[in-house]
Amino acid sequence: MKKELTRQQYLDLYYYMRLNRAVEDLMVKLFRQNKIVGGLYSSLGQEAISVGTAYALEKKDWLAPMIRNIGALLVKGVRPRDVFMQHMAKYDSPTKGKDGTSHFGDLDNLHIVSPISMLGDLIPVMTGVAMAGRYLGQKIVAMTWIGDGGSSTGVFHEGLNFAAVQKAPFVLILENNLWAYSTPVRKQVPLENLADRAKAYGIESYIVDGNDVVAMYSTAKEAVERARAGEGPILIEAKTFRRMGHAQHDPAEYVPKEMRAYWEARDPIALYEKFLTGENLLDVKGRKEIEEKINTLLAKERDFAENSPLPPPEFAETGVYCTGDDCHKIRAKWERPIAEVTPPRSSVEAVWTVPGFGSGKGSGGAHAPIHFGDTQPAETKPAEAGKSAVQAPAKAAAKKTVKALPASASKKARR
């Protein structure tokens, strides 16, 4: 860890990581008391990723969390009571008790898109959000997360390719926590670094220690700034470990004890506390004050959640479909003249030329020797003149090699 943030920023990161863990610890107690009716997924040991990356965003930016990104929600401004009530299916929850887990968002104020259980689908969704923001002139960045298992889905690749082609201001955090449910990462991906997948789409990537919150924040901040500046999407692989099972029902007995012990010794909060103490940014008194602040807040938030009523039975038939303004009143917020993106100013002359099989120059400087199968090549030797029109071009083409200009030749790869 490097000392390069302000004192308040360091303490903010610490506070949110502690709050993240405390919220989840309290929800485990509620789950065991049968007060949580849905699934409960732990981010124990991964708090630095959610907190560090979300803290790098500006208020106007958008994010879409996954099931282990409660820390990102807290950083964005979601109240713990909303997290509690959502999992308890209470009427005062963001979804009015119609969801017993983390499927909720806030499009109006906090710019949060609800999680999608189909892993990978948030990537094209957030690419669309990023593109829409650019179209409206908002200069926003969109961010979402994916696990190592989710990175093997088709929509991960389709979405990332789409983001790359569109040069969308989009940042994807790939949480490599070594386990896709009970499948170890080495049995699903033949790569040491999942960040290498970014090369296939011509985009930049970073590899970060996911248990170092300062490294996560600094890297995410740089990626966000680059995406906002128009450099296109960026992939960040955070190396970490899922210390609990897939959910509360999973004891994760498939994880070797030695592996668990190794990563427990690399607890991100413990590592960060050691750093803060060494830099004289946190002492015993300061730590106690933060603990008391969190305990007081969560006691109040828990009481509110538990006292919230369950939804009335007749409410079950409402809100199934969005019916327009009585459902929501989200409108496009233009921050640029509409004339810039509407005809005639947005019109582009449709010009295309296909001499043979394309135009342009090969690596040797001359026009690429590519032609249709029924088109005579530029030069035909006398010996081939008597051959058929189909055979001659095929043989002539076979003698000539077309070297493609590498995509990275004009720009040094950076990761």
Q: Given this model, what pLDDT does residue 404 score?
A: 37
Please tell me the distance from the alpha carbon of residue 352 to that of residue 363, in angstroms, as a whole number. 22
- pLDDT mean for each 10 residues of the chain (415 residues): 81 98 96 91 94 98 96 97 96 91 91 93 98 96 96 95 98 95 90 94 97 97 98 97 88 91 95 96 96 97 96 86 77 90 84 53 55 53 44 41 38 41
Q: Given this model, what pLDDT does residue 368 score?
A: 53
- Sign of the dihedral defined by the CA atoms of residues 217, 50, 75, 117, in that order: positive
**47-54 and 7-32 are packed helices; what angle lies between their axes, rounded to 10 degrees?**
130
Please tell me the distance from the alpha carbon of residue 307 to that of residue 31, in angstroms, as a whole number. 16
| Three-state secondary structure readout of the chain | CCCCCCHHHHHHHHHHHHHHHHHHHHHHHHHHCCCCCCCCCCCCCCHHHHHHHHCCCCCCCEEECCCCCHHHHHHHCCCHHHHHHHHHCCCCCCCCCCCCCCCCCECCCCCECCCCCCCCCHHHHHHHHHHHHHHCCCCCCEEEEEECCHHHCHHHHHHHHHHHHHCCCEEEEEEECCEECCEEHHHCCCCCCHHHHHHHHCCEEEEEECCCHHHHHHHHHHHHHHHHCCCCCEEEEEECCCCCCCCCCCCCCCCCHHHHHHHHCCCHHHHHHHHHHHCCCCCHHHHHHHHHHHHHHHHHHHHHHHHCCCCCHHHHHCCCCCCCCCCCCCCCCCCCCHHHHCCCCCCCCCCCCCCCCCCCECCCCCECCCCCCCCCCCCCCHHHCCCCCCHHHHHHHHHCCCCCCCCCCCCCCCC
**47-54 and 213-228 are packed helices; what angle lies between their axes, rounded to 10 degrees?**
40
Q: How far is CA 326 from the centre of its chain?
A: 31
Q: What is each CA distance from 415 to 68, 234, 410, 412, in whole angstroms?
A: 26, 10, 16, 10
Q: Given this model, what pLDDT does residue 361 score?
A: 54
Please tell me the distance from the alpha carbon of residue 171 to that of residue 154, in angstroms, as a whole number. 18
Q: Given this model, what pLDDT does residue 93 score?
A: 94
Q: Given this model, what pLDDT does residue 197 score?
A: 95
Residue with tokens 């012990």: 261
